């Protein structure tokens, strides 16, 4: 099994895992506790159109801040406390939802909070190639995505007997093993600092937690739903 790490564009048409550690991956993962599906969209305007057509709850951010007119931002901690009778969450974010559009094959969403389950399920689904894809921030490398990818890659390797691991993926696994350094890197990253300045330190702390849920989202027919065996 080939196991690789990529930035923005997936190398695999078999199984790909989107990682946007702060915060889209965690928001999507947690949303599936309360919503039947998450529909990613790529502009706020598209979000309003989808809500008018389908109903649902509008969630999203630009530059970390909640979009004006939306029901909620891209906040996993606040989403955990959000109550609604709707079964659809419409989500647009600066980075994570943007890269889903160009991914093919079986596409999962991974983060620190579901790293172990993402590793297990991707290993089960894959035939020949698992690629973990970092979303980054506006076309730039984001250290938090690298470290969260390392956590997922660690669990992928735990679930595979035979694999060929890229050098980039090896580096991510090694970097992800020191919990104290990972926490410092998240808090001091460009995204982490911006979210803290906006009053979302609780979200950064939340996204640092490892393996607190077994939820794994799979992208099908332009919707994110809970993967079930």
Q: What is the mean pLDDT of residues 69-97?
A: 89
Dihedrals φ, ψ of 191, to 5°?
-65, -45
In a domain, 199, yes or no: yes
Residue 84 confidence (pLDDT): 87
In a domain, 38, yes or no: yes
For residue 16, is pLDDT > 90?
yes
Share of the chain above pLDDT 90, in %: 87
| Helix orientation angle between 115-125 and 143-159, rounded to the nearest 10 degrees | 50
Q: What is the CB neighbour count within 10 angstroms for residue 49?
A: 13
Residue 63 confidence (pLDDT): 86
Do residues 22 and 113 make contact, with C-beta atoms less than 8 angstroms apart?
A: no
Which range of residues forms the domain containing residue 173? 2-223
Do residues 62 and 44 make contact, with C-beta atoms less than 8 angstroms apart?
A: yes
Q: Supply the CATH number for residue 172's domain.
A: 3.90.1560.10
Catalogue the long-range contacts made by 183-186 (C-beta closer than 8 Å, 24 or more residues apart). Answer: 183/208, 185/143, 185/144, 185/147, 186/21, 186/22, 186/143, 186/144, 186/147
Residue 50 confidence (pLDDT): 94
For residue 136, is pLDDT > 90?
yes
CA atoms within 13 A on the CB side of 75: 22
* Mean pLDDT, the chain, whole residue set: 95
In a domain, 186, yes or no: yes
Residue 23 confidence (pLDDT): 94
Domain tally, the chain: 1
Q: What is the mean pLDDT of residues 208-224?
A: 96
Residue 101 confidence (pLDDT): 83
Q: pLDDT tens-digit profile of 195-215?
A: 999 999 999 999 999 999 999
In a domain, 228, yes or no: no
In a domain, 229, yes or no: no
In a domain, 107, yes or no: yes
Residue 97 confidence (pLDDT): 85
Structure tokens belonging to residue 171: 């580096």
Q: pLDDT tens-digit profile of 92-118?
A: 988 878 889 889 899 999 999 999 999
In a domain, 174, yes or no: yes
Greater model confidence, 83 or 165: 165
| Helix orientation angle between 167-176 and 179-188, rounded to the nearest 10 degrees | 100
C-alpha distances (whole Å) from 165 to each of 123, 126, 140, 150 are 13, 14, 24, 12
| Helix orientation angle between 190-197 and 179-188, rounded to the nearest 10 degrees | 60
Burial class of residue 68, CB neighbours in 10 A (0-12, 13-18, 19+): exposed
For residue 7, is pLDDT > 90?
yes
pTM, two decimals, is 0.95
In a domain, 43, yes or no: yes
């Amino acid at each position: 099994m080939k196991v690789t790490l990529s930035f923005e564009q997936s190398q695999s048409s078999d199984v790909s895992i989107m990682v946007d550690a702060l915060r889209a991956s965690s928001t999507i993962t947690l949303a599936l506790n309360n919503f039947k599906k998450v529909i990613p969209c790529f502009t706020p305007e598209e979000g309003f159109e989808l809500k008018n057509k389908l109903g649902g709850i509008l969630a999203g951010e630009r530059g970390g801040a909640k979009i004006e007119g939306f029901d909620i931002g891209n906040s996993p901690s606040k989403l955990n406390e959000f109550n609604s009778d709707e079964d659809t969450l419409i989500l647009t974010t600066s980075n994570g939802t943007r890269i889903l559009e160009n991914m093919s094959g079986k596409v999962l969403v991974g983060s620190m909070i579901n790293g172990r389950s993402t590793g297990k399920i991707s290993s089960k689904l894959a035939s020949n190639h698992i690629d973990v894809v970092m979303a980054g921030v506006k076309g730039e490398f984001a250290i938090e995505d690298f470290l969260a990818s390392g956590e997922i890659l660690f669990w992928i390797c735990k679930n595979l007997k035979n694999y060929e691991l890229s050098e980039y993926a090896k580096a991510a696994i090694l970097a992800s093993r020191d919990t104290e350094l990972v926490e410092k890197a998240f808090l001091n990253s460009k995204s982490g600092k911006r979210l803290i300045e906006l009053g979302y330190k609780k979200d950064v702390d939340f996204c640092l937690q490892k393996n607190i849920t077994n939820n794994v989202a799979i992208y099908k027919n332009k919707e994110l739903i809970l993967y079930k065996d």
